[in-house]
Amino acid sequence: MGRGAHAGSRGNAIVPIIMPVETPTWEYRLEAWPATAREALGVLVRDAEIPNEWRASTLIVPTERRPDVDALVASLADERGNGNGLPPAGWYADPWSLSPWRWWDGTTWTGYVSVPPKATRPWFPPKGDTTPGLRAGGIAVAGYIGAPVLSLLFVLVLSALDVSVHSMEALVAGQAVLWSVLFGASVVAVRRQGNGSLRELGLQRLKLCDLGSGTVAALIGRFGAGAIALVFFVIFRGETIRRSSTVLRSVDSTPLEIAVLVLILVVGAPFFEELFFRGLVQGALTARFGSRRAIWMQALVFALIHYQVGMNLPQFLITFTSIAAVGLVLGVLRWHYERLGPGMVAHALFNAVVVVVIFAT
């Protein structure tokens, strides 16, 4: 019969147990049964020559004889009726552990199962969290260093061919190389250290609810980054804080170039950067340092890669701290939802605000 010829609660469940003998055994916990019902079952088991052992109200039999015992329980129910010892109809712990709950109709188990709601995951990892992560730190480091280096080298090659480093062609080529390395590192990591699927890094199809959570996170990140920038503007009042973004210097206001910029900042960057930083990097840091430290550390390395040659001190501090704050929000989203969708939406909306403000002013 399974996890409770009674199974009136989780405590009254049948579960496999390991005995200090070679024969695998199965345990029937019948403490909720009346003594007369247990005695009747004991007689049937003995008459069927099924090896058994009683420990208080618990019947232990060889696992291979479990179907026979289940049949005896069913026959006992037919003979005695539901009013003479067997539990009433209701939801009980699934005896076969295929689902948390299974419907008992009063005489036998049915095919009706129930899955309880998933436990709410905290917004930040609790102390002692044992999330395994992905042991691919070397691949993550190679991608982190290799992506900007190879992108820069490719742009320099274009420059040697008389293509301006500030041209749209150089921008697109540089981003293509950068993203190819980030994506390639992610693929190599899951194939060598994981199950071969990018789902292991949290890449799943976007859900409608991701739009809501991503929008809220984008607003939090945007206002947080703005507050940080305002503090540094006050501290460095009088200093020259200029815009140095290579992407923005490469774009005029033609419709085509604006469209390319939108594709880069609002589509490409959110996808590839979230996959690499919140998927691979955060996963690798989790495996090495734990979930709590990983969220903080990935935010720092995410901010550091946004440094650009020629930045002055105020500009570097504003860029680093504001992007680190955004990276922290994105890392929390990755942890809480266990997928990249909400972070990709938040990242896209965050960048979209930048594009709108820049071209509006």
CATH number, domain at 42?
3.30.780
pLDDT of residue 1: 42
36 plus 93 within the same structural domain: yes
- Judgement on whether residues 233 and 311 belong to the same structural domain of the protein: yes
- My answer on whether 107 and 151 are in the same domain is no
Per residue in 189-208, is it b (16+ CB within 10 Å) or e — as a string? bbeebbeeebebbbbeeeee
On whether residue 132 sits in a domain, the answer given is no
The verdict on 286 and 207 lying in the same domain is yes
For tokens 């920038």, what's the residue? 229
Sequence-ordered alpha helix ranges (H) in 10-128:
35-47, 66-80
| Whether 30 contacts 59, CB under 8 Å | yes
Domain that holds residue 283: 137-360
Predicted TM-score of the model (pTM): 0.65
Q: Kindly report which listed range (112-116, 178-182, 352-356) carries the lowest average pLDDT score.
A: 112-116
Whether residue 141 sits in one domain with residue 100: no
Please report which confidence band the pLDDT of residue 302 belongs to, taking 50, 70 and 90 as the band edges: very high
Same domain, 331 and 233: yes
Domain assignment present for 154:
yes
Predicted pLDDT at 116: 56
With respect to residue 5, please indicate whether it lies within any of the assigned structural domains: no
Q: Is residue 120 part of a domain?
A: no
Per residue in 268-285, pLDDT (tens digit) is 999 999 999 999 999 999
**135: enclosing H helix or E strand:** none
How far is Cα of residue 213 from the mean position of the Cα atoms in its chain? 15
- For the stretch 196-239, pLDDT in tens is 899 999 999 999 999 999 999 999 999 999 899 889 888 887 56
Question: How large is the average pLDDT for residues 81-97?
Answer: 64
Q: How many domains does the chain have?
A: 2
Q: Are residues 151 and 272 in the same domain?
A: yes
Asked if 280 and 339 sit in the same domain, the reply is yes
How large is the average pLDDT for residues 277-306?
94
Tell me: pLDDT of 293 over 90.
yes
Tell whether 265 and 325 lie within a shared domain: yes
Give the per-residue pLDDT at 78: 55
